[in-house]
Amino acid sequence: MKKVVKFGGSSLADADQFKKVGKIIRSDPSRVYVVPSAPGKRFDTDTKVTDMLLKAYEIAIHGGDLDKQLSAIKARYDEIIQGLGLGLSLDEDFATIKKMMLENPYKDYCASRGEFLNAKVMAAYLGYEFIDAYEIIFFNEEGALNTYKTNRVMRERLAQVPKAVIPGFYGQAKDGKVETFSRGGSDVTGSIVAANSQADVYENWTDVSGFLVADPRVVNNPVSIHTITYKELRELSYMGASVLHEDAIFPIRSAGIPINIKNTNHPDDEGTWIVESTARKSNYTITGVAGKKGFCAVLVQKAMMNSEIGFCRKVLQAFEENGISIEHMPSGIDTMTVVVHKDEFLDKEQQVISAIHRLAEPDVVEIESGLALIAVVGRGMKSAHGTAAKVFTALEKANINIRMIDQGSSELNIITAVDEKDFEKAIRNIYNTFIHPGTGPVD
């Protein structure tokens, strides 16, 4: 058994958290590769180390005095080092960082130093080898991961090192500079390490015990998800559910490596398993319900539209010409609806409408705004009768008007659009219908 373990910033915020992490790693000899984030907040009003470094970058590019800010950052690490009783000094590293910030400050380098330094502390604490991500993760000229070079170099290096700490979030750009991942950086690093070490499990440790069926900011004390498939995660992440960014899935998806989301503060909780496929039955028909606000719907009508070859392509071309991505596209015999993000669309709405008329010659074009999309996702929906009816009944009983319905042929999800003012109420009522049936409508 071989495990790659990634720990988020809240798990490594101070020496006490480091001790928890150390205990977790030492309790299982199969946890051989560790990917740490930079130290997060110690308390609500605290500042993440990465944010402190970005402030230092701003000071540097404006020619200010770096000493005070770098001293504050170093104090965070010294506090951790002293709390762990380590004889480690980061003086040389901070001298290098200061020199770089004075001579050649660039944002990615500054932002990445939090993970770099934390990995050094973690390696010293565990007695593992430190491997700089700069030496084994590579980006191409477009800023995307150079998968071929990364896989080749990383596999060779890991084959020689039985236990190592590898900082998350960054790698080496084509021009030799440090470059960071755009989103979910440390999660992606952990996933890449898991794939290239041929790990049996990728454990992603954070401050929550896995995924929840609904957003706890909307639903009070929602139940947790034991097992979720990659496809379900993709649907829920797209609709705003967070814990693990979907970009972190792709490096290990083809290898079939399961991901276990676990809680550093409650290590005995099983957490959530993310898998390619499973015979395990969900406790509920749905796996999760999530959504986002801020959408517009463009309704295009034309008599005999269904018999006009290329009509949909012409309508979509109008959006493409204006650089607007499309979220959903439900259609009828003589109508099609294109759902887009309001923020992308508003400044270009008249250009889009004009292009639709020019290209497709519709009878009517109408715009509806103030929409929220809600996705009800679950592999159990395939074998359950009346799932869509339950969703619609839940909304009807709560006196919520459904503005749009879109269900894919995979039967993995049902997407409904409601007015933004009804968003939270809709989520709560759908959740209760499937998780606590018989409780009646809630506000």
- CATH code where residue 339 lies: 3.30.2130.10
Cα-flanking dihedrals φ and ψ of residue 65, to 5°?
-85, 120
| Domain membership flag for residue 300 | yes
Quick count: other Cβ atoms within 10 Å of Cβ 56? 24
Q: Which of 275, 307, 335 is the last residue of a domain?
A: 275
* Residue 348 parent element (H or E): none
Answer for the pair 195, 255: CB distance below 8 angstroms, yes or no.
yes
State the chain's maximal CA–CA distance in angstroms. Answer: 78
Report CA 113 to chain centroid distance, whole Å: 22
Q: Where residue 259 sits, what CATH number does that domain have?
A: 3.40.1160.10
Q: Give which of 241, 246, 187 is closest to 217, Cα–Cα.
A: 241
* Domain identity same for 246 and 297: no
* All residues at 6 or more sequence positions from 276 whose CB lies less than 8 Å from its CB, including other chains: 229, 230, 253, 256, 258
Of 292, 276, 338, the C-alpha closest to 312 is 338
> Do residues 395 and 252 both lie within one domain?
no
- Structure confidence by residue, pLDDT tens digits, 79-95: 999 999 999 999 999 99
**SS3 category, 178:** strand
Q: Are residues 149 and 172 in the same domain?
A: yes
Is the same domain home to 231 and 376? no
Residue 184, pLDDT score: 67
**40 and 48 in contact (C-beta within 8 Å)?**
yes
- CA dist., res. 258 & res. 199, Å (int): 9
Specify the pairing of strand 259-263 against strand 272-275: antiparallel
- Are 61 and 30 a contacting pair, CB within 8 Å? no
- Are 360 and 347 within 8 A, CB to CB? no
What pLDDT does 255 receive? 86
What is the number of domains present in the chain?
A: 2
Q: Is there a contact between 210 and 268 (Cβ–Cβ < 8 Å)?
A: no
Nearest to 134, CA basis, from 195, 73, 176: 176
Choosing from 236, 251, 275, the residue where a domain stops is 275
| Position 178 in a domain | yes
Instruction: Please tell me what DSSP assigns to residue 213.
Output: S
Contacts 24+ apart (CB under 8 A), 416-421: 416/373, 416/374, 416/376, 416/391, 416/392, 417/295, 417/297, 417/339, 417/371, 417/372, 417/373, 417/374, 418/371, 418/372, 418/374, 419/370, 419/371, 419/372, 420/293, 420/294, 420/370, 420/371, 420/372, 421/370
Handedness of CA 203, 206, 208, 214 (dihedral sign): negative
d(C-alpha 412, C-alpha 235), whole Å: 9
> Digits of tens for pLDDT over the chain (443 positions)?
999 999 999 999 999 999 999 999 999 999 999 999 999 999 999 999 999 999 999 999 999 999 999 999 999 999 999 999 999 999 999 999 999 999 999 999 999 999 999 999 999 999 999 999 999 999 999 989 999 999 999 999 999 999 999 999 999 999 999 999 976 678 999 999 999 999 999 999 998 888 899 999 999 999 999 999 988 888 887 777 666 766 788 888 878 899 999 999 999 999 999 998 888 777 888 999 999 999 999 999 999 998 899 999 999 999 999 999 998 888 888 999 999 999 999 999 999 999 999 999 999 999 999 999 999 999 888 778 888 899 999 999 999 999 988 876 667 889 999 999 999 999 999 999 999 987 767 88
137 assigned to some structural domain: yes
The residue among 240, 275, 310 that closes a domain is 275
Residues 133 and 83 both lie in one domain: yes
Residue 269 and residue 313 in one domain: no
> What does each C-alpha distance from 123 to 36, 76, 92, 166, 206 come to in angstroms?
10, 17, 17, 9, 19
Domain that holds residue 377: 288-435
Which segments of 200-241 are extended strands (E)?
201-206, 227-229
The verdict on 227 and 310 lying in the same domain is no
Task: Say if residues 369 and 403 touch (Cβ distance below 8 Å).
Answer: no
Task: Please check whether residue 253 lies inside any domain of the structure.
Answer: yes
Q: Kindly state whether residues 322 and 209 are assigned to the same domain.
A: no
Asked whether residue 230 falls in the same domain as residue 352, the answer is no
Rounded to whole angstroms, the Cα distance separating 419 from 371 reads 5
In a domain, 443, yes or no: no
Rounded alpha-carbon distances, angstroms, from residue 395 to 329, 375, 434: 22, 13, 12
Q: Does any domain span residue 162?
A: yes
Same domain? For 239 and 356 the reply is no
Same domain, 120 and 180: yes
Q: Write the burial class of residue 65 (CB in 10 Å: 0-12 exposed, 13-18 middle, 19+ buried).
A: exposed
Distance CA 271, CA 386 (A): 30
pLDDT for res 432? 95
Within a domain: residue 281?
Answer: no
109 belongs to a structural domain: yes
Compute the distance between CA of residue 131 and CA of residue 126 in angstroms, rounded to an integer.
Answer: 14
Measure the CA–CA gap between 214 and 201, rounded to whole angstroms. 25
Query: Interhelix angle for 15-26 vs 67-84, to 10°?
Result: 50
**Shared domain check, 294 and 235:** no
Interstrand relation of 31-36 and 129-130 (parallel, antiparallel or unpaired):
unpaired
Identify any residues that bridge with 178 across adjacent strands, giving them in sequence order: 172
